[in-house]
Every structure is written in structure tokens, then in C-alpha cells.
Structure 1
Amino acid sequence: MGSVRKASAWLGLVEDGDERYYDDEYAEGAETGDAWVTDPRVRVASESAQEVGRRIATVSPSSFRDARGIGELFRDGVPVIVNLTSMEPTDAKRVVDFAAGLTFGLRGSIDRVATRVFLLSPADTQVVSGEAAGRPAQDGFFNQN
């Protein structure tokens, strides 16, 4: 079957003459337990961790438009690691401001993990830091040094 015909069949525009093609793909994913990933910038821990309630999402936004995904994950109670290293400084500042408002509104916390990398933690999550090991704390956020 040609690629145009496959695309048309996938969209449901024409009758699919090769049912085996689609059935095999879905059967493989069901047997191995692989999860569908729709956005390569968002990674969530495995399904078994989700059942227990221990999930952490990692988001590497490319623009401020990706902030909505961060908000949706955080609103669902998932701690989010936001990596802003690939963003322009002005957009990164906007995302940090959005994340700070998001954590304030939902009574969570925001912590700097590394330069331009932040951890957004929901209210019911305890973050254990390494300051007790002798590492001095750094005050301020991305643009407040």
C-alpha cells in the first residue's frame, strides 16, 4: 500500500485493505508496555510509577507557548523539572515568572536545581536538599543575582 493510501486509511478517508499493518503495531506496543509519547520534550516516569503516585516530569520548553504543558502537569500534582538552557533569556524569564506564579497559586514550591534548571514541587511533596552536606545555598532565581 502506498504512503498516501496508508495516510488516507489512517485518517479514515478510505477503506484499509491491509488491516495486519495496523494490528501488528498496536499489538507490539501492548505486549511490551511501551507508553505513547506525544511530545519529545516531555518525559514522564513509567506507568508503574504513576500507579503508585510517584511521578516526575522533565520539560525542556523551546518557547513560552510550552508553559501550558508545565502548568497542566503541575496542576495534576506531578513535580516538574523545567530545563531552560535551550531558550532565549527573555522567554526563559517569562517561563520562570509563570512557574513562580503557578507554584504560589497552588501552594507549591520552586527550587533552582542548576543554572536555568528548576524544580516545581506540589504542596504535598518534600524536597530534600544537599545544603546540610556543606554546600552553601544560593539566593534568588534565574534573573535575581
Structure 2
Amino acid sequence: MGSVRKASAWLGLVDDSDDERYYDDEYAGGPESGASWVTDARVRVAEQPEPEPSGRIATVTPDGFRDARRIGELFREGVPVIVNLTAMDPADAKRVVDFAAGLTFGLRGSIERVANRVFLLTPEDYQILTADSGRSAGGFYNQS
């Protein structure tokens, strides 16, 4: 019995019978197959797909700094978050903005102020379009 199999059996993750037909300590498929290290030949590690925008946007109106965790959890899931700080006292609001700025920097997202004490946090795979970005120099209803 291989060392990985023994450890798995000791942890109770697999049956510790002597049935070795599915387990092998060798590299499954060889290096040319592109397979990952596995202990069960029936299991293959899939390539991790690129995260796609989920179509969800969260709005969070925190009461205090303790609500920053929920903002971080949503943002880590790839959900854009609108943070409304109008109900908070200025000291806690500043702490939440500092947290949000670090969060977006660390996860390569962006933070944008959309109104007084309201911020939009977007993951890196989102693009923010403003009303001015699609407008031509003369405007849509240019009468000249």
C-alpha cells in the first residue's frame, strides 16, 4: 500500500482494504499526458475555468466596520459591490473605504466613487462604462 493511500486510510478518507486496483503512487498518465498527481486513477483534475461575470451586483449598507467582512466575501467571489456608507459615522466609513481600497488593490479590482459616500468595487474582469465614454464629440442629437 502506498504512503498516500496509507495516510488517506489513517484519516478515514478511504477504505483500508487491500484493493489496490484504483490506487497508484505513480504519476497518473505520465508527464506527457498533462494529468495531475492523483491517488485515484478514476479522478482527474479539471483545468480551472476562467471566472465569468455572474450577472450579480451586491449592494451593502454597513452599520459598522464589522460589516466589511461581507463586502470582502462578496468581492472575492467576483461580485461587484456597491458600498453605501451614508448611514455610518465618518470614522468607521473611512476605515471601510481603506479596507475596500486594499481589497480591490490586492485582488486587482478597482474602486470608484459614484456618489457622496457611495463606492463601486469591481473585480478585474469588469469594465466600468461611463455616460461620457460612448458619447461622440458633437453629441447624439447634434442639429448642425
Shorter-chain-normalised TM-score: which range? 0.5 to 0.7
Question: Secondary structure of 2:129's match?
Answer: coil
Number of equivalences: 84
> Match of 2:65?
64
Q: Deviations over 1:14-60 (max 9, x none)?
A: xxxxxxxxxxxxxxxxxxxxxxxxxxxxxxxxxxxxxx710000000
Amino acid at match of 2:112: D
Task: Tell me how far 1:129 sits from its aligned partner.
Answer: 1.4
Q: Which runs of 5+ in 2 are unaligned?
A: 1-52, 136-144
Identify the structure with the greater helix proportion.
Answer: 1
Question: Secondary structure of 1:98's match?
Answer: helix
Structure of higher CA gyration radius? 2
When normalised by structure 2's length, the TM-score is 0.55
Task: Tell me how far 1:109 sits from its aligned partner.
Answer: 0.1
Q: RMSD of the alignment, in Å?
A: 1.9
When normalised by structure 1's length, the TM-score is 0.55
Which 4+ stretches in 1 moved above 3 angstroms?
131-134
Task: Tell me how far 1:133 sits from its aligned partner.
Answer: 7.8
Q: Distance in 1 between matches of 2:119 and 2:86?
A: 11
> Match of 1:21?
none
> Match of 2:89?
88
In the TM superposition, what are the counterparts of 1:29-44 in structure 2 within 5 Å?
A: none
